[in-house]
Amino acid sequence: MKKLEFYVPSADRDTVLEALFAAGAGRIGNYDRCCWFVEGTGQFRPLPGSNPHLGQQDQTHQEPESKVELVFDAGLQAEVVAALKQAHPYETPAYQILSVEL
């Protein structure tokens, strides 16, 4: 089992989650659409050559974001990562994948 952790603008969280659930993420036993999230503030500065969804190049930007965690079967990793990148509004989404035992 793997766990995906990622950050997304709060306004886009549900759209990204729907794509991840459709890819098979968020299943635990006889339950699906399982996830955990918390609200916070993300900060970044788009550098030259970037195409920011939010903010402007060379200016620090702060945005209300959700940190989301959900699990998925290890065999679905390619599909889950592809769904995240396709649905996520950021040019380069921040995410990590960890191995977990349930």
Domains of the chain in sequence order: 2-64+72-99 (3.30.70.120)
Task: Identify the pLDDT of residue 7.
Answer: 98
21-33 pLDDT, tens digit per residue, is 999 999 999 999 9
Residues 21-60 as b/e (b if ≥16 CB within 10 A, e otherwise) read bebebbbeeeeeeebebeeeebebebeeeeebeebeeeee
Task: Identify the pLDDT of residue 102.
Answer: 76
Query: Cα separation of 22 and 14, whole Å?
Result: 12
pTM greater than the 0.85 cutoff: yes
28-79 pLDDT, tens digit per residue, is 999 999 999 999 999 999 999 999 999 999 999 999 999 999 999 999 999 9
